[in-house]
Structure 1
Amino acid sequence: MSVNALYTDLSGYYDLMCVDIDYQAQSHAIRRLHQIFGNEGKRHLDLACGTGPHVRHFLDAGYTSSGLDINQPMLDIAAQRCPEAHFSLQDMSSFEVDEPLDLITCLLYSIHYSDGLDKLGDCIASAHRALNEGGVFCFNAVDKQRINNALSAKHTAQQAGATFSFCSGWHYSGQGARQSLRLSIEKTEAGKTQMWNDEHPMVAVSFSELIALLEPTFEVHVFEHDYQTITPWDNVSGNAIFVCVKREGLA
């Protein structure tokens, strides 16, 4: 077995890595929440959109949907998947839009890709500026105080005669505003196995800290991380969906 940087660009394997994600169920649940809390508008932007699967489902549901990411190869795939959508190469902490939006999403815990609490605050401020009155910013997050470093998610998939095994898990030292997403990929083909390891630095934040960042400019509603039912957060679980409505009278 060789241990090396198997892939310098994950864009070609991103969809395979995320094959177990039910993008349709996630998108449907967010649309339901938008119907409840939103302003009835249909202009949507997906932050850290990757290869565009969420954008595809919002387009199919009648939204004018767009996406942004910092990875151009991901955006190239997204543009093939969603040719009618607009995609832009931007940082979600400092993005700009041409027209005000009604819904901004940031799913798959991508909000944590903000580089520190200051950048997280900048992302929240950018979302607030981009939204129409009564617009909604919706994302999922993990509470740093409830991370279990021993837990990980694993799955396998087949592609072009090779077997891929993916493993990912959160790691938090217990102090500060830094956590990481640890990722490993094994590729087995013709009896030979290669392994690729990476560690993505991410911002660590408790839900109380996150709510404190949001409340000056948003009305915040927190729900259980369940895309099948709309259930208020139980104040115990470490994963949640945040639905943030732009406060009236704030530019």
Structure 2
Amino acid sequence: MSFNALYTDLSGYYDLMCEDIDYPAQSDAVRRLHQIFGNGGNAHLDLACGTGPHVRHFIDHGYLSSGLDINQPMLDIAATRCPEAHFTCQDMGSFQVNDPQDLITCFLYSIHYSDGIEKLKACIASVHNALKRGGVFCFNAVDKDKIDNDLFVKHTAKKADDLFTFRSGWYYSGSGDKQALKLSIEKTNTCDTQVWNDEHPMVAVSFTELITLLEPYFEVHVFEHNFEAITPWNNISGNAIFVCVKI
């Protein structure tokens, strides 16, 4: 299996893999945050948009939404799901927009796809350049110092006669600015079982480091990773939602 095969050859499994994600709850939470901290505009860009489920929800609530991703097969699915939206195949570390945005989102910890601190810095600068003054950058992140390498999430899903088991977990060596997202898909039917394993290089950053990177560009607000209530970060938990207002 090629290094990035899960997001290319097996991109058709992506929505099934994410079947247990509550996209409406995530989108609604970010819309509430945007109403509180934003500039009142509705131009929205979703970074690492994948197959476009978040974009769909923002469009349905009156936003002029667009998306970008580095993977064209994902964008092909997104374009079918959201024919009203404009999608581009770009790297979120060096993207450009035709029109300034009021809200830029990056869900599902995808900010970590900036592989290394320098690429993360470039992503933050690109977001700043793409936003209007008073625009909001909202994303979730994980603190490298709080990662438990033994933890993983798992869920199963049925499709036709196949049973799929999906697993994912973070791995951090304990030093440096690189961590990994480890993923696996197990497909079982009456004939056989197939397993695909994949590992994605990710940027490793503590929340203290991340806030330091953001503050030259934004007014930074950090909240608990809770899509049901807006609660300030307790300075302890290793998952958080960042709301960054362009200054």
Give the structure-2-normalised TM-score.
0.97
- Secondary structure, aligned partner of 1:205: coil
What is the identity, as a one-letter code, of the residue corresponding to 2:44?
H
1:115 is displaced (CA, Å) by 1.6
- CA deviations over 1:162-207 (Å, ceiling 9, x no partner): 0000000000000000000000110001241111111111000000
- CA deviations over 1:198-245 (Å, ceiling 9, x no partner): 111100000000000000110000000000000000000000000000
- Secondary structure, aligned partner of 1:235: coil
Q: Residue in 2 aligned with 1:186?
A: 186
Aligned 1:92-131 pairs, distance under 5 A: 92-131=92-131
In the alignment, the residues of structure 2 paired with residue 235 and residue 149 of structure 1 have an alpha-carbon distance, to the nearest angstrom, of 21
Compare 182-191 and 102-111 and name the one that shifted more.
182-191
Q: Residue in 2 aligned with 1:32?
A: 32
Q: Residue in 1 aligned with 2:9?
A: 9
Aligned 1:58-207 pairs, distance under 5 A: 58-207=58-207
In the alignment, the residues of structure 1 paired with residue 245 and residue 72 of structure 2 have an alpha-carbon distance, to the nearest angstrom, of 30
Q: Residue in 2 aligned with 1:233?
A: 233
Aligned-residue CA RMSD in angstroms?
1.0
- CA deviations over 1:135-155 (Å, ceiling 9, x no partner): 000000000000001100000
In the alignment, the residues of structure 2 paired with residue 160 and residue 73 of structure 1 have an alpha-carbon distance, to the nearest angstrom, of 22
1:160 is displaced (CA, Å) by 2.2
Aligned 1:210-225 pairs, distance under 5 A: 210-225=210-225
Over 3 Å off, 4+ runs: 4-8
- Secondary structure, aligned partner of 1:242: strand
What is the identity, as a one-letter code, of the residue corresponding to 1:223?
F
In the alignment, the residues of structure 2 paired with residue 160 and residue 246 of structure 1 have an alpha-carbon distance, to the nearest angstrom, of 47
In the alignment, the residues of structure 2 paired with residue 127 and residue 193 of structure 1 have an alpha-carbon distance, to the nearest angstrom, of 43
In the alignment, the residues of structure 2 paired with residue 109 and residue 190 of structure 1 have an alpha-carbon distance, to the nearest angstrom, of 35
- Secondary structure, aligned partner of 2:212: helix
Q: Are 1:46 and 2:39 counterparts?
A: no
In the alignment, the residues of structure 2 paired with residue 102 and residue 181 of structure 1 have an alpha-carbon distance, to the nearest angstrom, of 30
What is the identity, as a one-letter code, of the residue corresponding to 2:128?
H
- Secondary structure, aligned partner of 1:232: coil
What is the identity, as a one-letter code, of the residue corresponding to 2:175?
Q
Compare 8-17 and 64-73 and name the one that shifted more.
8-17
What is the identity, as a one-letter code, of the residue corresponding to 1:227?
F
What is the identity, as a one-letter code, of the residue corresponding to 1:210?
L
In the alignment, the residues of structure 2 paired with residue 220 and residue 185 of structure 1 have an alpha-carbon distance, to the nearest angstrom, of 37
What is the identity, as a one-letter code, of the residue corresponding to 1:156?
T
In the alignment, the residues of structure 1 paired with residue 79 and residue 109 of structure 2 have an alpha-carbon distance, to the nearest angstrom, of 22
Q: Residue in 2 aligned with 1:55?
A: 55
1:161 is displaced (CA, Å) by 1.1
In the alignment, the residues of structure 2 paired with residue 191 and residue 12 of structure 1 have an alpha-carbon distance, to the nearest angstrom, of 21
In the alignment, the residues of structure 1 paired with residue 100 and residue 195 of structure 2 have an alpha-carbon distance, to the nearest angstrom, of 44
1:73 is displaced (CA, Å) by 0.5
What is the identity, as a one-letter code, of the residue corresponding to 2:151?
L
What is the identity, as a one-letter code, of the residue corresponding to 1:235?
N
In the alignment, the residues of structure 1 paired with residue 231 and residue 80 of structure 2 have an alpha-carbon distance, to the nearest angstrom, of 35
What is the identity, as a one-letter code, of the residue corresponding to 1:226?
N
